[in-house]
Structure 1
């Protein structure tokens, strides 16, 4: 960013004054009391605001009551020219930034273009007078000058040393190589304790995994034993059935020997088939008993029913045979009624059409008949 020119409406001894600057290096020089410091203060006021009552700087308002303020033309880094105008208004003045396209920006936009530095930082780095340069080579070495510029660029003043001491103090409060109370030292100790706990829990986890694997193996072995036990139980029950029938089998074999009958081959799973057939026979017997009871109940209900006499049946049959003829006569009667009603309506219509009037019985029409 470069300062191209300034236009003073009214500031100190300057009224309606315009100054052009070199675009490569901006310097203000002249005779004593020519207004060099006033012009420098004007640039500071336009960019950062007029001095307030809290600042130990003169406001340099015009004595004759002229318009207070002015404008500064800046060339931005991208080559665009803008006019920064600040006039009397609020404590630091009202500022407007006029863009080349005619739009107007506010002070927030200006601060962003100035990288948010304040007036003190600007004066320490970019704007200084001859008093600040006198005998600089006698009192400062090149390294000291670089440190001064670095301090001013970092914090806006020589407060860098104090800030560095404050940072060192804060660092000591947070961490000491052999300390115990600083916060970071305590956190490190907590981390170490957590690492120890993690190692212990890891050992427990390994033991837990080992026990879990052993439990799974034992569970699989138990399932195998349960299957074997189930098979043995089924075999034991089958043998118990065979033992229960051993007397009958021996008796059967004895009878076979006495009768000289060849031994019969016992069918495969004969005992199970016998038990199943026995259960089926029991079901069939219970079903037959239920059906017999139902038959007896139906017979009792049938005996209680009222059976009409044969003559009544014959009357019913005779009436049923006449049903079609009665329906036919009823339909003919309704048809005759409809035709009669229709004829009545036609007669009334004809009477109405010819102006027919009904004769009254109380009227003597004998004379009319004679004539």
Structure 2
């Protein structure tokens, strides 16, 4: 796999930079200092392995020239497939997407597989040995380079092994000591253990809460199922009780049905046939007993008759006497039957009075006989009974549902009472505070890095100013030369001495002095010419270097101005963000870290509180709905009960009767009517017997008178 293209949206001094056509051969990026070579390397690291954390010492390379922080890289694999890796800032190194050849997108896991599971440390220490690490060396001698290469191969930071060893030995005791408590790592480990225990306790509480919540949901389902089973069981119990109550009647009915099947079929069964049958059966038994007595009387009378004397007058009434003899048996039967009918009348009237008392004081025989006891009336009672039973079951079901919803509401209220009420109840406001805190942390990190970069620029400006001052002093020294008047003075003095020595021969000293002065002047002239030539050449070079330093200082000054402007903007944004968090001043990095953790905990607590509040609201809605349904069921029950009572009043029945009581009343009325009919027949029969008895007594009186 190799790199074929680079696009930088915003990274350091780069903005909207696109590099295409990278060949499989070696590609070398050349440029002056601060031209962006290290920035380009940092961009590769950021896209491949994520943006550095704001708490790290690595340069974040904020987009100083504008654009969105980030960009993409185009990769070509050995199988000639193109992949575009794109990353922009976000949590955990930023959001990364890999555009595949089939136009689908992959994430961090796919990028890791694409890079052969290489990580940031391996890439930085083996494939990205940058100048920023090498600049830490005081001199680039062979030993230092060897140590750096050894460090890269060992997978550690490319710094001096000697310095690393010394620093590690010096800090080892301060950072960690086995069994110690004061060293920093020991304190952090102790705090970490405490936090881990607290985390485990909290996780256990959350798991226990989820487990209890799952159990509650399961138990609620079981409660609903048991409620339905309870209703069904209640209905089944009522049916069973009804079956138990009618079981003796059912047994009697079955036995009677069996006996009825054994009897012959009668086409026309007489009215009150059973009562008449019992009466005739009793009468037959009485007649049998009476027959036995008559036979005994007949034998006794025959013996007495043989001893009697015959009266002629009586013989004259022989036809009438014979008729009386013939009717005597009928008379006796009539008298006996009259006594039996009278006894039945007494018993029937007693039963009739008892039945009338059973129905109530307001019932009379006339009211009973006029009452509508038709099949339609019985069917209406059954319909009301079914309606009342259905309404009663519905009311019971709604009542149980209301009690269940009320219990759930109480549980939700108990849960929300156990939760601390958050001071900020608006999730949007809390999310805004978390974003503001995250933005403030990012701005604080960016501010710190920019200040560090600004200090580096100022240090470099100071170094460049010192270097420029040294160049200017060197230039002044180089441009310094002997005054021309001194050279001309020496040459003129020498010539004057020679002329004077020629004119005044007596002064021998003037000639050597003139020659010496002339030679010195000519020598100085020659030296001045040579020096001026060298100075001119060096001056040009120095001026060029000075111009380069001036330009570089100007660039650094412009960069410093840009950074100062950017820092001022960051400060303004930090102040604005602090106002969103109701902070009077910008907190430190540690305070922001703690604030972020607190806001995260508050967000979790608010989420739990909102969830509990929502459950309470839903429970209240369900309770209110169940209450309305219960009220509706009760009103329906009352409406049907009112209709039933009005129906009872319209038919002259007591409004307190239940449908079962009404059916029992109708059965009692039917039985009463049957008893009245039977008594009517007995009274008619009594009248007929009394008439027969009076006819026999009239015949006997006529015989006695004759």
TM-score, normalized by the shorter chain, greater than 0.5: no
TM-score, normalized by length of structure 2? 0.20
More strand by share: 1
More helix by share: 2
TM-score, normalized by length of structure 1? 0.37
- Greater RCO between the two (CA within 8 Å, min separation 6)? 2
